[in-house]
Structure formats: structure tokens, C-alpha cells
Structure 1
Amino acid sequence: MTKKILSLLFFIQFSISYCQQLPISESTKISIITVGLADEVHSLYGHTALRIQDYKLNFDLVYNYGMFDFSTENFVAKFAKGDLQYYAAAYPYADFEYSYREDNRSIYEQVLNLSTLEKQKLFDKLNTSLLPENTFYTYKFIDRNCTTKVIDIVNEVLENKPIVKKNINSSTYREVLFPYANNHFYEQLGINIIFGQKVDNQATTIFLPLDLYDNLKAISYKNEPLVSETNIIFEANRTTPISYLDSIYSLIVVLLLFVILNKKATNIIYFTFLGLIGLLFSFMSIYSFHKELFWNYNILLLNPLFLFLVYFIIKNNTKWIKKISIICLLSLGIYCLYVIGKIHFIIVLPIIITTSIILSRLILKRQN
């Protein structure tokens, strides 16, 4: 991995020194490339890059703003905190296309309708973004990613920043994101319970590759379509197999076991698990720079108070078991009222029902 990265960085430096002095020809084509979805967590939402072809000067490069290094020290902690550094790289387009064909991911090209002067400005801007002082940026899920970086750099060159969201409706960011994880239930559940209030705001900006692809079709520039040509470079034929293990049904079966068994030990396991997740989310909302994690009301579902409840269950402290159970049940009721109209309500409903049943049993069992 290290050798590959060093080779890539060498190529980048070579490209910068070469391309910065290079006036492009009138026949140069600049395209926005959209890559389709895949099944891994980091590929659920697609990818965006820029392509520059100049056959007279014999180069065809892709500028990719979605580069990151898995071998980064404390990678997971940095990603969670929100200070993981992504970087830009330029390399042969053929390598880019080959890798995504190998992954069986669709590739779409939208050629931008720009003047030669605008193409030159954009080309120069792209190469400037590869300089050591510019190439790294702090990744943000909605506000700064491979798609927003492409939008920003193109808008900087064009008059009046024409690339803006055209298909604005009442949908929230959460509602926009939700269908991307269809057939990936536990990823869908995890994404929706770790995100807080921000993703419930109306989606007014473009931050996803396919949304950019759709919006570019409707954008005009200087009274002409911004996209002069759309090409399907590769159409993937992929289907995500339906797995009952990765579905709401498997969750219901597991939760049903806790309800049926109704033992002290199973209650301790259940509330310890939920409480630890809630404690983690509470910590993340303070520790992380990701604004999407702030004000996470899902903590009312995955309540850190469950850990105190576990302690008193172990100690057989009837008084405090009842008090904390009532507090947690009231919190759960508030949560239910708050999320009942939100798109992820159905997928958290089994947890709401199970927790309500177990808490109610604890309260009724300790009635005088």
C-alpha cells in the first residue's frame, strides 16, 4: 500500500509540474464523471470526479477528490472525530475507469459546455488544487466530499456559480439518504440512529453524486445547457441479493427472544447493549466535528440511563429499578412522538416496542 501511495504522489507531482505550464487545445473536453452505487458502506452513495481529455496533447486525466488512505494512523478515530484528511489526485482516466468496471459500478459522463478560456481556467484551477498546500481537505459527510469539491471548483471558474440544486422539494437530507441503503438493513439502521437533528433539515444543497448527475441535466449556463453531451460509459448489471439475516425480520426475531425469555440475565444483556450504544452516541455528539452527529435525539431510544438500570437490577434495588424504568419509559414515549413522522420510524419501531414491553414489566413487577 505504501509503495502504491508513494508512486501515486510521485505521479501527482510530475503531473503538476508538467500541466501547470500547459495551455490546452480548443478540442479539450471537460466532463463530470458519476460512478454508480455499490454494496460496501463507503460506496453506497456513488462517486464524483472530473475528467479532462485533450487528444491533441495526448492526455486523458481524471481528477479525483475522494482519495483517502486506510493505513492512516488512528483511521477509525479520525473518521469518527471528523478530522480525517481526504486528498485530491490526478491520474490516467483509463485506470480510473478500469477499477470501477472491475467493481461492476456504472460510469456516466456529462461533458460541460464551456469556452476554451473557461476550460483553461478550470484546468489551471484543478492543477493548483493538487499543490501540497491545497491537496488535503477535511472530509464532511454533507458539506465537503467528492461531489461538493467538484461543484465548488467548477463554480469558482464559471459566472454566477450555476451549479445549484434545482430539484428542491420538501425532502430532508435523511429522506434523500434513506433509499440508498435499501437491502442493507443494519447499515440503514446504523446510519439513521447515529445521525442527529441536522439531517432532518430540508435538503437544499447537492451533496450526492447521483443528485448532481440529475441536477446537471436541468442547469443552464449562458442561456445554453451546461451539459452538452451525456455518455453512458459503462452500465453495470448488478443486483443486491436479499438476505433475511440483513433485514428487519432478523432484528424482530432477536428482539422477540428477549421478550419471550423475560429473565434477569436477558434484561441485563439487553439494556447493557442499548446503554453502551447510547453512551457512545452521547460521547460522539460532543467529541466529533461532524455536525450530522450533533443533537442526536436517538439517545432517547438508546438511553445511557439503561446502564444505571442494569446496575440496580444486579443489586435488586426495587425502588430505583422502578424509578429509572419510569424515566426511561417516559423518554421513550417522547422519542416515539418525535420520530413518528420521520422516515426511519418503521425501522426503529421493533426496538421501541421491545423496550417498552420490558420496561413496563419491570415497573409492574415492582408495584406495591
Structure 2
Amino acid sequence: MIRFLLAIVFLFVAPASFAQSDSCGLRITLLTCNPGEELYSTFGHTAIRVQHGPSGTDEVYNYGMFEFAPDFYLKFIRGKLLYSLTIETYPDFLYTYQYESRSVVEQEVLLGCSQKQNLWAALRENARPENRNYRYDFLFDNCTTRARDMIARYAGKGLQWRNILPAESPTFREMLHTYLDGGGQYWSKLGIDLLLGARLDRTVSNQQAMFLPDYLLKGVDSARLNGQRLVSPPRPILQLPSPIKGASALQPMVVLSILLLIVGALSFLPQTRALLKIFDRLFFLLLGLAGFLLLFMWLGTDHKVCRDNLNLLWALPTHAVAAWYTGRNTDRTLTYFRMVCWGMVALVGAWFFMPQALNPALLPLVALVALRSWRLSQPNAYAHKKY
């Protein structure tokens, strides 16, 4: 029923749209879709719509599709997942965003007839089975940058991009944080900050900022082609209330602070020897495994943005081995935890001056590492003592 109604709306809207087009009867528009509730949709989406009056064509070229195969997760983790360009009908495309309650804005690409024909031909050629796949890179080669590059290529040399960034250009991480905070995705934000290294803290250029759909919308809106507008002003074609809900009260900073307070209290209470012994072994084992994961993402995958990750300063892979020696009074064990304790103190002191922005929610966790390392650096760590 919804698709039928959308088709009826299209019958009334399309003639008016084509009436404003040129003699070739070809209309190409850039579609910008608002962020959704799920993590994969937090940053919005971009696609290209092509309408051809003489043939009755109305289709959407979408660079954001991928195949969910049995080895999907392995390819995703290793950075080898292929995305592809697919073609879908405009009513089907619009139905998806109506179902997800995500608004859509349209900007008509104001190219000449031959330029639009060449762009359409290139899109169709790119959508052929042998050409449609590409190696996805979230920052530099995604569904939005592909749409930008296709339009720019067929606009020609007269295209000029105007500045859309503030006086103090943000970093890639700061741009992502804006969307993650706006979507209440604080746990996802923590996960991204854990996995993505110092390369995410590079300052974004005007052109690079257009990896995000909203910034591409601004970029093409202000761009000029031989002194004229590249696209028409944004026109809403689907206006819906945002599906984004308020964030949960159990945010990372709250949960990790509570953990620090509880374990901190137990560390100075009598009769907690057995409990703390289990906690320390599990705690340092998990930290070590996290360190191995970060090393794997750095050295064992094609995700370039996972390299140079300074979270390895607290998630030391060696913790996975040290976990089995907690509470032992050997000089090697006591020295190891003493060095870890002082290392965590130094890390907290340098937290806001490092080349990589570490997530503030990790501060209670690092403080807990320092606390338990200090305790384990003392002989008879689990003996009852008075403080």
C-alpha cells in the first residue's frame, strides 16, 4: 500500500521535475539521507537519482551495498569487504527510508545535456557486474565520496569547491564524534575510539570533509561551475521525525566509574582476598586480549586507520601473560606491576596532550589498572593488611 501511494505521488511530482529539465529529458539529482538509529546509519547516506523522461526511467544508483556472505565477518574485520554499486527503483529506495523514518533531501545537478548523458553512461558502466565492486574505505572511498567524484569528474575543470569548514578545521575523529554523540551512540563511540588509531586525529581538508553526506550536501550546494551553481538548492522529498532516541543512562563513563569505585573499595577492605584474586586474573587477561586485538587490527588487517593506536599504552598484550602471575612474590612479577602502575600514572598525566585523542571514558579504567597494579607490586598482595 505504501509503495502504491509513493508511486502515485511520483506521477504528480515527476512531470513538474522534468518540466524544469533541458531538452534531453534527463534529470540527475543527489539524494542525501538523514542519520538513522542503527550504527551503520548514524552518519547518513548519499545516492544518485537518474530520471529520464523519454524512457520513463527513475532509478537510484547506490554505492553503499554489500553482500552478506558466510565469510562476511572475517572480511569485515580484515578490511577486505567489498562494497558495490547497485541500481534500484526510486519508489523502492524511498520506501526504505520512509520505513526507517529518515528524511531525504534532493539537489538537482545542473550540468549540460551532454555532461549528464556522459555521467549516466558512466554510472551504468560502473554498475556492470564486472565493475560494480570496490574496496570500501570509510574515510576516503565510501558511498558519499564515490557520488562526489562521479559528479565532479563529469562537471569538468570549471568546478570550484568553496570552503565549508569552520576557521579551525576539525579532525576526522571530532567529525565522527558529532554524529555519534547526536545519535546517543556512546558505547559505539568508545569502540571506535578503541580501534581507530592516531591517523583519525589528522585535520580534515575541505575536500576530505565530504566523506560525510551532510558535508557533501553543503559542498555541492556552495560549489560553482564556471561561476554558476553546480546544483539547485536542497529540496526535501521526504520529511519525517527522527528515529533517534535518547541515550541510555548507562554510558561508558558511568559504568567504568562505578567499576572503579567498587573495586577501589574492595581493595582496602578485609576479607576480599579470594574475590580480588579472581578479579585481577580476569581483568588483566581481558586487557591483554584487548591489546592483542588492537595489534591485530594494526598489523593484520587492511584498515589503515587502525594503525598507530596509542590505546596499546594501557591495553598491553603482555597483561595476558602477567594475569597468571598475579599475587606472586617474585622480583620479576613485582617489578612488572610496579612499572605498569607508574606507566598508567604517566599516561593519565599526558592524556590530553597526546597525538591521539583517547576516549575520556577510559580514564576510570586506566585509574583502575594503576590501582590494581600498585597493589600487585607489593609483596603478599592478597594478604590482609591495615591501611
Normalising by the smaller structure, the TM-score range is 0.7 to 0.9
Q: Does 1:191 align with 2:192?
A: yes
Mapped pair 1:220 → 2:224: yes
Change (3 A) 1:69 1:362: same
Q: Deviation at 1:361?
A: 2.2
Aligned counterpart for 1:139 among listed residues 136, 139, 144:
136
Gapped regions of structure 2 (runs ≥ 5)? 1-21, 268-275, 382-387
CA contact (8 A) 1:184 1:246 kept: no
Deviations 1:239-270 (A, max 9, x none): 42221234421232234333233312111121
Question: Equivalent residue for 1:203?
Answer: 204
Distance 1:266 1:165, change over 3 A: farther
Q: 1:19: which partner in 2?
A: none
1:235/1:328 Cα in 2 relative to 1: closer, same or farther (>3 Å)? Answer: farther
Moved more, 196-205 or 237-246: 237-246
Match in the other structure for 1:170: 169
Q: What residue ranges of structure 1 are gaps of 5+ in the alignment? A: 1-23
CA deviation map 1:198-218 (0-9, x unaligned): 101111202111121122222
Q: Percent identity?
A: 28
- Count of residues paired in the alignment: 342
CA distance in 2 between counterparts of 1:243 and 1:338 reads: 30
In the TM superposition, residue 363 of structure 1 has moved relative to its aligned partner by: 2.4
Matched letter for residue 86 of structure 2? A
Q: Is the 8 A contact 1:151 1:163 kept in 2?
A: no
Structure 2 residue 266 is matched with structure 1 residue 261: yes
Q: Structure 1 CA distance, aligned partners of 2:162 and 2:303? A: 22
Distance 1:354 1:165, change over 3 A: farther
RMSD: 2.2
> Shift of residue 47 of structure 1?
0.8
Give the partner amino acid of 1:346. Answer: P
The separation in 2 between residues aligned to 1:193 and 1:163, in whole angstroms, is: 37
Find the counterpart in structure 2 of residue 361 from structure 1. 375
Matched ranges for 1:11-90 at <5 A: 26-70=24-68, 72-90=69-87
User: How many Å separate the matches in 2 of 1:338 and 1:80?
Assistant: 31
What residue identity is the alignment partner of 2:95?
Y
Indicate if the aligned counterparts of 2:26 and 2:117 stay in contact, CA closer than 8 A.
no
**Amino acid of the structure 2 residue aligned with 1:50:** I
Aligned to 2:257: 252
1:339-358 to 2 correspondences below 5 Å: 339-341=351-353, 344-358=358-372
Residue in 2 that maps onto 1:303 = 316
Deviation at 1:180, TM superposition (A): 1.4
Which amino acid letter does the alignment assign opposite residue 28 of structure 1? L
For 2:175, give the aligned amino acid: V
1:92 partnered with 2:104: no
**In the alignment, which residue of structure 2 is the partner of 1:119?**
116
TM-score of the superposition, structure 1-length normalised?
A: 0.86
Q: In 2, distance between residues paired with 1:359 and 1:118?
A: 66
Moved more, 92-101 or 158-167: 158-167
Tell me the secondary structure at the aligned position of residue 114 of structure 1.
coil
Distance 2:103 2:160 in 1: 23
Secondary structure in 2 aligned to 1:60?
strand
Deviates more, 1:101-110 or 1:165-174: 165-174
TM-score, normalised to structure 2, is 0.82
- Is structure 2 residue 322 aligned with structure 1 residue 323? no
The answer (yes or no) to whether the contact 1:112–1:226 under 8 Å persists in 2 is yes
Q: CA deviation at 1:162?
A: 3.6
1:288 to 293, 301, 304: 301
SS of 1:217 mapped into structure 2: helix
1 CA distance for matches of 2:357 and 2:241? 29
State the alpha-carbon separation in 2 of the partners of residues 299 and 257 from structure 1. 25
SS of 2:30's partner is strand
Instruction: Check whether the contact 1:312–1:320 (CA below 8 A) recurs between aligned residues.
Output: no
CA distance in structure 2 between the partners assigned to 1:261 and 1:164 by the alignment: 59
Structure 1 residues 88-138: Cα deviation after superposition (integer angstroms, max 9, x where no partner): 111101100100110111211111111111111100110110122210001
Structure 1 residue matching 2:118: 3-state secondary structure: helix
Runs of 4+ residues over 6 Å off in structure 1: none
Q: Give the secondary-structure state (helix, strand or coil) at the position aligned to 2:73.
A: helix
